[in-house]
Amino acid sequence: MNLSLAAAAVLLGAKVTAAVVTGSSAIYSDAAESVVHFLAVCFAVWALRLAHKPADETHHFGHDKVSFLSAGFEGAMISAAALLIFYEAVRQMIFGVRIENLGFGVAVTAAAAGVNLVLGLSLVALGKRSGSPLLRANGMHVLTDVWSSVAVLVALGLYKSTGWVWWDPIAAMLAALNILRVGYKLIRESLGGLLDESDPAMEKRIRDLLDIEVAKRGLSYHNLRHRHSGRTHWIEFHLVFDDNLTVGEAHDSATEIEASVAELLHPHGRVISHLEPKSAEHHEERWEER
Q: For 69-119, write each residue's pLDDT tens digit.
A: 888 888 888 888 888 888 878 887 787 766 666 678 788 888 988 998 999
- 194, 214, 240 - which closes a domain: 194
Q: What is the mean pLDDT of residues 236-254?
A: 95
Question: Rounded to the nearest 5°, which phi and psi values hold at 26?
Answer: -65, -45
Give pLDDT, residue 26.
67
| Distance from the first to the final alpha carbon of the chain | 38
Residue 138 has pLDDT above 70, yes or no: yes
Query: 217-236 burial by CB neighbour count: b if 16+ within 10 A, else e?
Result: eebbbeeeebbbbbbbbbbb
Residue 19, class by beta-carbon neighbours within 10 Å (0-12 exposed, 13-18 middle, 19+ buried)?
buried
Q: 187 and 95 in one domain?
A: yes
What is the residue-wise DSSP string for 210-228? HHHHHHHHT-EEEEEEEEE
Banded pLDDT at 258 (limits 50, 70, 90): very high
Q: Which residues have CB under 8 Å from 264's CB, separation 6+?
A: 205, 206, 209
Residue 130 has pLDDT above 90, yes or no: no
**pLDDT tens digits along 178-210:** 888 888 988 998 999 899 998 899 999 999 999
- 194, 223, 248 - which closes a domain: 194
CA distance 266 to 269: 6
CA distance 253 to 202: 23
Q: 132 and 248 in one domain?
A: no
Tell me the CATH number at 165.
1.20.1510.10
Q: Is 237 helix (H, G, I), strand (E, B) or coil?
A: strand
Q: 267 and 226 in one domain?
A: yes
What global pTM score does this model have? Answer: 0.74
CA distance 85 to 26: 8
Give the residue among 16, 17, 23 at the shortest CA–CA distance from 165.
23
Give pLDDT, residue 250.
96
**pLDDT tens digits along 31-64:** 877 787 788 889 888 988 898 888 889 998 888 8
Q: 19 and 92 in one domain?
A: yes
Tell me the CATH number at 280.
3.30.70.1350
Q: Is 271 helix (H, G, I), strand (E, B) or coil?
A: strand
Give pLDDT, residue 248.
95
Whether 45 and 2 have beta carbons less than 8 Å apart is answered as: yes
Question: Rounded to the nearest 5°, which phi and psi values hold at 116?
Answer: -65, -30
Give the range of the structural domain holding residue 148, as residue numbers without chain letter: 2-194
Whether 192 and 72 have beta carbons less than 8 Å apart is answered as: no
